[in-house]
Amino acid sequence: MDLRQLEMFRAVAEEGTFTRAARRVHVTQSAISRQIKLLEEELGSVVLHRGQKRVALTASGDLLLKTVHRVQRELQETVSQISETRTLHRGSLSLAGGMTVCMYILPPVLKRFRALYPKVEITVINAPSSAVLDSLRRHELDLALLTLPIVGDDLQVRPALREEMVVVTAPGHPLSRKRPVAPEDLGNHPLILYEAGSNTRRVLDEFFLEEKVAVRVAMETENVEIIKAMVSHGLGVSIIPFAAAAKDVKAGRLAYSRLRGRKLYRETGWVYMKSDYVPKTVSEVLRVFDAVKDKYLHAIPGQS
């Protein structure tokens, strides 16, 4: 058994077919089949169920895949420790977040990080939380900034921001003159909300349920820019983090109000795989974030 065999096995297990796995590791399909057969002969156990269209892990294969993940992670960490010097002269950093995070939080953080470490290659991915967590577990990402809660025994979660969410409307909208807005008033207007299933939407749905607000959802999207565009044209109202609306409020494209009787918050946190060793790229991003975050948190002006 060697590392190349294990890499081929992992590719087949994760891709589901020998054909896609062969493309992933740049060998022929017959070469992968041969190596998997040799691996099974050495182990004395079948690791893959071969179906007509897809393969599936056996119990032995599931155990082997977990071991492969651990071995490859430890190898990556060892290489990182050997190659890192006191400062980051080279390396790579891959991170991910949702739409709002990628637009309003990561840019100033990564600008500062790049100024400190210009030779580190940075890759940013925008994707739903479920896809991001899958990529983290496959070790395709180093770090993510996600809406909480995120739960997983294999994950390290570090709270980062607690953002107040506010009601946003078009300027001149009837709710823009109600400061603060009573929860029941939201039921009288079409709402443009984050898509169902997202952690941010769960915060809102719990709020509507607790306040017994019968909502009329006119549109759902994870793209906060679409939400703001629709709201600014008077097609509905929304509840979004104030940080996402601050520049539009200042420019007169949107109006905002707090909620009466309670405050809504969206919490975000850094998420990465648990390990005895945290790569320096990750620890430095966390350090840079802590150093600059107060500059980019938009304080909500007082309202009467």
Find the CATH number of the domain harbouring 72: 1.10.10.10
Residue 301 in domain: no
The mean pLDDT of 268-274, rounded to a whole number, is 94
Q: In the chain, what percentage of residues exceed pLDDT 90?
A: 62
Is residue 8 located within the same domain as residue 74? yes
Give residue 82's pLDDT: 60
Give me the pLDDT at residue 85, please.
46
Q: Is residue 191 part of a domain?
A: yes
pLDDT at site 81 = 58
CATH of residue 104: 3.40.190.10
Residues 73 and 220 in one domain: no
Quick check: is 69 in a domain?
A: yes
Q: What is the overall mean pLDDT for the chain?
A: 88
Q: Tell me what pLDDT residue 87 has.
A: 53
Whether 304 is in a domain gets the answer no
pLDDT at 301: 58
Span 220-261, pLDDT tens digits = 998 899 999 999 999 999 999 998 898 999 999 999 999 998
Band (297; pLDDT cuts 50, 70, 90): low
Domain end position, chosen among 59, 83, 107: 83
User: Is residue 153 predicted with pLDDT exceeding 50?
Assistant: yes
Domain co-membership, 216 together with 261: yes
Identify whether residues 177 and 121 lie together within a single domain: no
Mean pLDDT of 149-156: 92
pLDDT band at 303, cuts 50/70/90? Answer: very low
* Inside any domain, residue 303: no
pLDDT at 270: 96
Domain count, the chain: 3
Same domain for 15 and 96, yes or no, is no
Q: Does residue 171 sit in the same domain as residue 243? A: yes
Same domain membership, residue 275 and residue 250:
no
**pLDDT confidence of residue 104:** 84
Write out pLDDT tens, residues 59-102. 999 999 988 888 877 777 666 656 554 456 667 899 999 888 88
**Which DSSP string corresponds to the chain?**
--HHHHHHHHHHHHHSSHHHHHHHHTS-HHHHHHHHHHHHHHHTS--EEE-SS-EEE-HHHHHHHHHHHHHHHHHHHHHHHHH--SS-SS-EEEEEE-HHIIIIIHHHHHHHHHHH-TTSEEEEEE--HHHHHHHHHTTS-SEEEEESP---TTEEEEEEEEEEEEEEE-TT-GGGGSSSBPGGGGGGSEEEEPPTTSHHHHHHHHHHHHTT---EEEEE-S-HHHHHHHHHTTS-BEEEEHHHHHHHHHTTS-EEEPBSS--EEEEEEEEEE--S---HHHHHHHHHHHHHHHHH--PPPP--
Q: Give domain status of residue 210, yes or no.
A: yes
Contact 284, 119 (CB under 8 A): no
Whether 172 and 51 share a structural domain: no
70 and 202 in a single domain? The answer is no
Say if residue 153 is in the same domain as residue 281. yes
Average pLDDT over residues 264-268: 91
Clarify whether residues 238 and 178 are in a common domain: yes
> Using one digit for the tens of pLDDT, what is the confidence trace for 31-45?
999 999 999 999 999
CATH number, residue 217? 3.40.190.290
- Given a cut of 70, is residue 210 above it in pLDDT? yes
Q: Hey, how many other C-beta atoms are within 10 angstroms of the C-beta on 47?
A: 21
Name which residue leads in pLDDT, 177 or 145.
145
19 vs 278, higher pLDDT: 19
Same domain, 221 and 192: yes
Give the domain-ending residue among 50, 83, 116.
83
pLDDT score at 300: 59
Final residue of a structural domain among 54, 83, 112 = 83
57 is in which domain, residue-wise?
Answer: 3-83
Q: Is the residue at 273 inside a domain? A: yes
